[in-house]
Structure 1
Amino acid sequence: MITLPEGTDLPDRDDVLGQAISFDRTRWIPLLPDPTWWPDELDECPKAGRWPRVDRRTVFNVARRTDTSPGRRHLLVAALVWGTGTKAQSVNRRGRIFKQSASEVIDARLSAALSVLRERGAAKAYFAFNNDQHIPHLGAAFFTKVIYFAGHETLTTPYRPVILDSVVSRALKAAKGVDASWPENGWSTDQYGQYLASIHDYALRTGVLPDQVEAALFSYGKQLP
């Protein structure tokens, strides 16, 4: 059972949806198979200082088009941009996804994994992205973002998909949501399912949505040594 430190506030859903990350369009476009992979919504993001900033709400809007191949491409790119920031090294690391695999392969695996999400749920989609539908260089920290944006607002059973990365994982362990052997990365499907169960239990007990709990864990994890 998750036990967050006393005084930890769960963020409002509006605050979660407004969580924004800066990005540099000029670093991304050369890494994509072609410019059509770039979603128009990212060009409409407001600037804060030097960079535009994309928030969760915008990526959710992009995710509403995942019934088409261009829409799935746009979701992948938007989720990567939201999760990466402006550092050239980080952006280039994400760019390996598109360098390693042909567009047709990415399309086919995205389509198959997201079909699993709709038909069989988040844990099965996690397994798909981690196995038969694995896209090289797209690890769990990022494909759970794709799963999250594709399904958190529309799929409620058995569990809404939620992001799992090393920061959240570290906080989950510190908050006693999992046992002491829990890894900071490389989670199995069963471990992702355990994470979903812990998140949903806490959300149910506190009357919030699961991504509010995930956001609180992320904030807590950032403060851990």
Structure 2
Amino acid sequence: MQSATVHLTPAGTTVPEHGAVLGQAIPFDRDHWVTRLPSADWWPPELDGRTEVAGRRRVDRSLVLDIAARSDSIEGRRHLLTAALVWGTGTKARSVARRARIFTESAPRDIDVCLEAALDILREDGAVAAYYALNNEHRIRFLGPAFFTKVLYFAGRESAGAWRPLILDRFVALALRAAGTGDKWPTSAWKTPCYERYLSLIHEHARREGVFPDQIEAALFTRGKRLVGRPG
């Protein structure tokens, strides 16, 4: 690990305004989801109230954060998980089916137990401990780090510790690798020390730049997509 200052957003990298980050909206197809959920009470009613744009409803970060405010109940945690998956998946039926294996490979009760335990840990012990929990003893099959960090991010307003949880996916990892942090950044299966390093880098960089940490995360995500030739 290098101790020198690391510049995660080099010249030419735009850090979005926080309002733009919270407004990051993803289209979704309700019909692709509702038939794959364990029961109707896993679907957040807030998603049905979204205005259609170009024939598609959209969900943004701000709405999922609002849904996460209800994650102190079984129903609220179910809604949080579903909303985070919907936001992170998009409209492709194949991608939705892949995410829905979370529900077909585990009993609803087992998912409930793992989510409750992990979010309790998040509130009491912080983001790194919650990451460890969902990556180990409270692991939910087919809910990998790229998606369970979304759940932690949205639930993290009241998290303990100095670091709020942030999303880590393959595009963010690719941007971190390009930034020359002195670390190896695999594009999946991150161990807990890797996530801890990530949070440390992002929060320190955000502090120096005078922005919110999720603004840096969003900038890295966009840069990572461009590195593989996908539009931001």
TM-score bracket for the superposition, by shorter chain length: over 0.9
Of the candidates 159, 176, 181, which is equivalent to residue 177 of structure 1?
Answer: 181
Residue in structure 2 matched with residue 166 of structure 1 by the alignment: 170
Equivalent residue pairs, number: 223
Flag the 1:156–1:117 CA change in 2: closer, same or farther, 3 A.
closer
Is 1:59 the counterpart of 2:85? The answer is no
For normalisation by structure 1, the TM-score amounts to: 0.96
Residue in structure 1 matched with residue 26 of structure 2 by the alignment: 21
Runs of 4+ with >4 A deviation: none
Distance in 2, matches of 1:27 and 1:17, equals 24
Q: Shift of the alpha carbon at 1:29?
A: 0.4
Q: Shift of the alpha carbon at 1:2?
A: 3.2
Secondary structure (helix, strand or coil) at the match of 2:58 reads strand
Alpha-carbon contact 1:63-1:149 (below 8 Å) kept: yes
Distance in 2, matches of 1:3 and 1:33, equals 41
**Cα distance per residue 1:41-82 (max 9 Å; x no partner):** 111112111210000000000000011000000000000000
Alpha-carbon contact 1:21-1:55 (below 8 Å) kept: yes
Secondary structure (helix, strand or coil) at the match of 2:193 reads helix
Alpha-carbon contact 1:2-1:172 (below 8 Å) kept: no
**Cα distance per residue 1:12-51 (max 9 Å; x no partner):** 1100000000000001001001111100111111211121
Alpha-carbon contact 1:59-1:149 (below 8 Å) kept: yes
For normalisation by structure 2, the TM-score amounts to: 0.94
Q: Mark the runs of 5 or more structure 2 residues left unpaired by the alignment.
A: 1-5
1:15-164 equivalences under 5 Å are: 15-151=20-156, 153-155=157-159, 157-164=161-168
Flag the 1:203–1:93 CA change in 2: closer, same or farther, 3 A.
same
Give the AA of the match of 1:224. Answer: L
Identity %: 54
Distance in 1, matches of 2:221 and 2:96, equals 21
Secondary structure (helix, strand or coil) at the match of 1:10 reads coil
Secondary structure (helix, strand or coil) at the match of 1:21 reads strand
Distance in 2, matches of 1:48 and 1:187, equals 36
Residue in structure 2 matched with residue 224 of structure 1 by the alignment: 227
Flag the 1:93–1:30 CA change in 2: closer, same or farther, 3 A.
same
Residue in structure 2 matched with residue 204 of structure 1 by the alignment: 207
Q: Shift of the alpha carbon at 1:156?
A: 6.4
Q: Shift of the alpha carbon at 1:7?
A: 2.7
